[in-house]
Amino acid sequence: MAIQKYGTVASRNLIRAEMKMLKHAEPIQVLTNFGDQKEQPLNKTDTIVFRRLKPFNATATEVPSITAANFITAEGVTPTANTISYTDVTVSLNQYAVLFKFSSKAELMYEDDIPNDMAKLTGETMAEVAELVCYGQVKAGTSVNMNCAR
């Protein structure tokens, strides 16, 4: 397992280094900012069932099948009643993580703020992972299992 040590990256103690801190996750997140986000309570199941309303007169692929002629009515005639139906969609939660380590000597002696930089990089990396998960769902052509996290 890799560990950040004092000598892993050459120190720049002889020059002044400035670094503008940016929020790394926000510019990356595009797809994860859309959709309905649900928070899963702690100590509960890792499986969630979502229910959605099927479109009116949906086909087997849940595409609405509507023609104007089907809605023509005559005076004094009660139209045929319709019903609604739902689709249950079961999803299992996934857990994603990134781990960085650094030595106590690097913490004490290194000129750069390693913990802060690791936190920044973690935010950027996890935002990229979330985008890849969402993009995979969009590319697959599903509008149901947007298992995207924010």
pLDDT of 11 higher than 50: yes
Q: Decide: 34 and 135 in contact? Cβ < 8 Å.
A: no
Q: How far apart are CA 118 and CA 114, in angstroms?
A: 6
DSSP symbol at 3: -
Distance, CA of 148 to CA of 136 (rounded, Å): 10
Q: Say if residue 76's pLDDT is above 90.
A: yes
141: number of Cβ within 10 Å: 6
C-alpha to C-alpha distance for 36 and 64, rounded to whole angstroms: 22
pTM here is: 0.58
Mean pLDDT for 118-142 is 81
In the structure encoding, which two tokens stand for residue 95, read together? Answer: 């857990």
Answer whether residue 13 shows pLDDT above 60. no
